[in-house]
């Protein structure tokens, strides 16, 4: 009898499980006043899990995930995700408990624009090896930098 194909876990479900139990994280959650804090919580052959904390005003550059698909869930607080559509950034508000899945070509900015700290859990398949940072100029995405795992983070 042929072997059944392996069923990949839904990445948003994985994020939801990790977000529900921060006491089980291998590193304690913390907030860094100078920059967004992040820590890898788990990794296996299929995916990796990261926790991020965001103080008011902290955010990312416009970036992709180097060919990895993924999902992220806002565990507490509110985050704003901006995606490129029609040559402009379009904001999407994500409150605690909400999240999104994304494909391997997803480009976005994530920022805490609110008065309270936020925490999110991110899952990537395969594990992040690189991220490309972009500038949006004249409605077009221009590569600003390619950051490599182990060097930039």
> 153 pLDDT band (50/70/90 cuts)?
confident
Handedness of CA 151, 8, 105, 121 (dihedral sign): negative
The answer to whether 65 is annotated as binding is yes
The answer to whether 108 is annotated as binding is yes
Dihedral of the alpha carbons of 114, 15, 66, 83, in degrees to the nearest 10: -40
CATH 3.40.50.2000 at 11-128, yes or no: no
pLDDT per position as a tens digit, 66-99? 999 999 999 999 999 999 999 999 999 999 999 9
pLDDT per position as a tens digit, 43-57? 998 899 999 999 999
pTM, entire model: 0.92
- Separation CA 39–CA 113 (nearest Å): 22
């Amino acid at each position: 009898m042929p072997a059944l194909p392996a069923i990949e876990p839904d990445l948003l479900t994985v994020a939801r499980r990790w977000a529900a139990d921060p006491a089980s994280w291998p590193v304690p959650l913390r907030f860094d006043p100078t920059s967004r804090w992040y820590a890898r919580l788990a990794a296996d052959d299929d995916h990796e899990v990261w926790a991020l904390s965001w103080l008011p005003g902290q955010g990312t550059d416009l970036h992709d995930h180097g060919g990895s698909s993924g999902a992220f869930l806002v565990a507490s607080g509110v985050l704003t995700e901006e995606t490129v559509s029609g040559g402009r950034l379009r904001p999407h508000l994500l409150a605690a408990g909400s999240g999104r899945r994304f494909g391997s070509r997803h480009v976005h900015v994530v920022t805490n624009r609110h008065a309270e700290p936020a925490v999110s859990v991110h899952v990537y398949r395969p594990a992040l090896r690189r991220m490309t940072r972009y500038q949006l100029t004249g409605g077009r995405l221009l590569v600003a930098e390619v950051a490599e795992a182990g060097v930039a983070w």
